[in-house]
Each structure stands twice: as C-alpha cells, then as structure tokens.
Amino acid sequence: MPEKKNIVITGATSGIGKALCEHFAKDNIVYAGYRNEKLVEGLKSISHNIVPFYIDFKQIDSIAFAANFIKVKAEHVDCLINVAGCVVAGAIENIDIKKIKEQFEVNTFGHLDFTQRLLPFLDGGRIINISSKSSFGIFPFVSPYCASKRALDIMFNSLLLETHRDIKVISVKPGVIATPLWGKSIEENKENIDAAIGFEKELDYMLDSARKNETYGLDVMEVVKVVEEAAENPNPKSSYTVGWDAKLAEIVSKLPQDWINKLIKAGMKAKFNRAKQNRLKEQAVSENTQAV
Ligand SMILES: NC(=O)c1ccc[n+]([C@@H]2O[C@H](COP(=O)([O-])OP(=O)(O)OC[C@H]3O[C@@H](n4cnc5c(N)ncnc54)[C@H](OP(=O)(O)O)[C@@H]3O)[C@@H](O)[C@H]2O)c1
C-alpha cells in the first residue's frame, strides 16, 4: 500500500472543500479547515483520516495558529488545497469599501498568509488553489469577487515563477458549481443589494441566477476530478478550467477589452430585459389567478 500523504484543505465544511475531503481522506491524512465549531463532528464523521483545524480568514490570528498546528502534527505537507471562499457582490458604485477589503482578506490575503507559513513544509509538494472562472475578470456586479480571485492567481503564479523550492502551484478555475455558496452569497450580500439603488433590475437578475445556480450548476465531483488530476499528474498544468462556462470565460478574456465590454453589455441588456419580461409575465399570471 502506498504511504498516506498529508493533505491540507481549507473551507472543508461545505461544497467543494467537503467533497475534496471525502475523496482524499479515503487514502490520505486530511487536515480539514473549519470556521464553525458546530461543523467539526460532521468533518470527523467523514473518516478517521480527517484531522480538523480551526481557521477563519476574518480572524487573522487564527491563520498563524492553524499553520503552527499543522507544522506540529504533520512535519511535511504533500498537498495544500486552498478552498475557503466567499462572494462580495453588488454595484461597485456603492459597495462598502470595508466589505471589499474583507473579500480580499478571505479569498486572497488569507490564503497567501497561510501558504507562506506552510511553504517550508511543502518542498516536493504542490499547492492547488480553487480559484474561479471569475478570475478571468469579465463579470460585472461581482467585481470584488473577480478581483480577489485574479489577485490570488497572479500572486500564486508569481510564487511558481520565483520560488527556489520544489513546489508545483496550480490554479483550478471552476465555472458554476451547485454548492451552498450561492445561497450564502444572497444572505451575505443583503446590505449591498439594498444599497444598489437604481440597479434593481440587474440585481434581481443576479439573485435569480444565484438561486438557480445552487441547483443547476455542475456537480461538485467535476471539480474533484480536476483537482485529483492536478494533485496526481507528475506534470500538472498551471491552470485548469472546470465546465464550458469557465472555458468560454477564458476565451472571451483574451479579446481586446473594448470587444469584451461590448459583448458583456449586449449580453447584460438581453438577459436583464428577458428577466424583466419573465417577471412581468409572472406578475400577470399571479394577478389573473387572484382575480379568479
Ligand atoms: N460554487 C461555485 O460555483 C464556485 C465556482 C468557482 C469557484 N468557487 C470557489 O470554490 C471555493 C469553495 O466554494 P463552494 O462553492 O464550495 O462554497 P461553500 O459551499 O460555501 O464552501 C465555502 C467554504 O469556505 C468556508 N469559508 C467561508 N468563509 C470563510 C472564512 N472567512 N474563513 C474560513 N473559511 C471560510 C466555508 O465555511 P462554512 O461552512 O462555515 O460556511 C466553507 O467551508 C470558493 O473559494 C469559491 O470561490 C465556487
């Protein structure tokens, strides 16, 4: 039997991170990051190979504690998978700047801080970041999220280019995946949505899409398959997309900025108008039903 590897996964309590824990804990020791105590038992019940550790990227001190915990327990890390993430969305004109900073704390700076601390233990290993198709930077009304993922990719690609260590760095960029992220995003962005006066039509469309994405997105196992490839392939690519929508975003992102903007504006106009017409139809049906 091959020796068990030490794998560290943040954001292990839900969606993609949880699915990765379930997959990798079959044959490896998985250090699984949580921020909510209530979810620890659930993590432990996945496998006796799971070692939960506390990390909350909004609590900066917890990052050093978490890295120290792993250093003491593991001695060597074969694979660090940075998964934890959240979404800050809204109209960029009026999103509170504090929320935008928080977006970067969780999706970007936290991962970099944690990774820097574990680097001496990662020699011969690999770092896999769960980035996003949003890293291609073409989506309005989620620009803090896009920018946080782009910044993550830029800094970790720089790490790959600069490091003297034997470490592979890989970015996995999923498109829409069916996870609880979408519902959480609606909850966590209520303030931004209320503040977006004049953008009601646009945000209505965004909310409607988010609700659908949670059910109709790709299955989380599609991400697991790609991460497995990134973790096992002796010569992994530095960037993988998951899903046709991520591939399309990559292609579009290569066009000149003005062309991208024209495409996005035309797409938005069509989608927002369609959403408005659907809403009017639904209203009419409901009014007719009430009249009957
Ligand atoms: N779902 C998609 O369509 C999609 C697409 C592309 C990329 N991604 C990326 O995939 C990653 C995982 O997302 P998911 O879809 O699996 O969402 P999810 O089900 O909401 O999982 C997110 C995980 O991150 C944790 N987390 C959130 N804020 C944190 C913080 N401040 N500190 C530490 N942990 C925190 C969550 O903890 P709790 O369980 O306590 O909430 C959870 O374990 C994210 O980086 C996301 O950006 C998702």
pLDDT per residue over 165-206, tens digit each? 999 999 999 999 999 999 999 999 999 999 999 998 888 889
pLDDT digits (tens, 9 = 90+) for 100-142: 999 999 999 999 999 999 999 999 999 999 999 999 998 999 9
pLDDT of residue 282: 76
Query: Across the chain, what does the average pLDDT equal?
Result: 95
> Ligand 1, residues 63, 86, 220: which to mutate, most atoms within 8 A of Cβ?
86
* CATH classification number, 6-251, choose in 3.40.1360.10, 3.40.50.720, 3.10.20.30, 3.40.190.10: 3.40.50.720
Residue 20 tokens, joined: 């990765």
The model's confidence at residue 292, banded by pLDDT at 50, 70 and 90, is low
For residue 133, the ligand 1 atom closest to its alpha carbon is: 6
pLDDT of residue 271: 84
146 pLDDT more than 70: yes
Domains in the chain: boundaries: 6-251, 254-284
pLDDT digits (tens, 9 = 90+) for 40-85: 999 999 999 999 999 999 999 999 999 999 999 998 999 999 999 9
pLDDT of residue 15: 98
Residue nearest to atom 32 of ligand 1 (CA): 56
Say what the pTM is.
0.95
Angle at 120 between CA 37 and CA 28, to 5 degrees: 55
CA of 291 to the centre of ligand 1 (A): 45
pLDDT of residue 37: 97
Scored b (16 or more CB within 10 A) or e, 229-247 reads ebbeeeebeebbbbbeebe
Q: Under the phi-then-psi rule, with left for phi > 0, alpha for psi from -120 to 50, and beta for the rest, what region is 185?
A: alpha
Residue nearest to atom 26 of ligand 1 (CA): 84
Percentage of the chain exceeding pLDDT 70: 99
The model's confidence at residue 1, banded by pLDDT at 50, 70 and 90, is low
